[in-house]
Amino acid sequence: MRCLKLRYPLCAIMCTQSNIAMQAQKVGIREFREKLTSLLGASHPVAITRHGETVGYYIPARPRPKDSDLVALRTAAAQLDALIASKGVSEEELLREFKQSRRRGKVRR
């Protein structure tokens, strides 16, 4: 289902109403308070319970990017900068060409 790819709190409502089971980690309210900082960084929903009964949910809005992903992105950006510099092309020229190709693509559809 498409809503699983979105990272908005509203998505959880749509997914639960679409009969898709969400896997939530269950924690007691006291444990939730004690581990709040680590749970806020979680990428999965957390069901908060009091005396065994669910009293609320914490659903993260978006997961935190992994350090390895950030390093890979920075490496790719550095390689792209080096490639652009080696070809003697300015960013403005690339942007102008990109916009022109997008316009041509929209006309064909």
Q: According to the model, what pLDDT value does residue 49 have?
A: 94
DSSP track, 18-77? TTPPP--EEEEHHHHHHTHHHHHT-SS-EEEEETTEEEEEE--SSPPPPHHHHHHHHHHH
Entry pTM: 0.40
pLDDT computed for residue 62 by the predictor: 72
Structure tokens at 70: 């950030």
pLDDT computed for residue 39 by the predictor? 84
- 63 token code pair: 């997961």
Residue 1: HSE in the Cβ half-sphere, 13 Å Cα cutoff: 13
Confidence at residue 19, expressed as pLDDT on a 0 to 100 scale: 46
Q: Which residues of the chain are under the pLDDT cut of 50?
A: 1-20
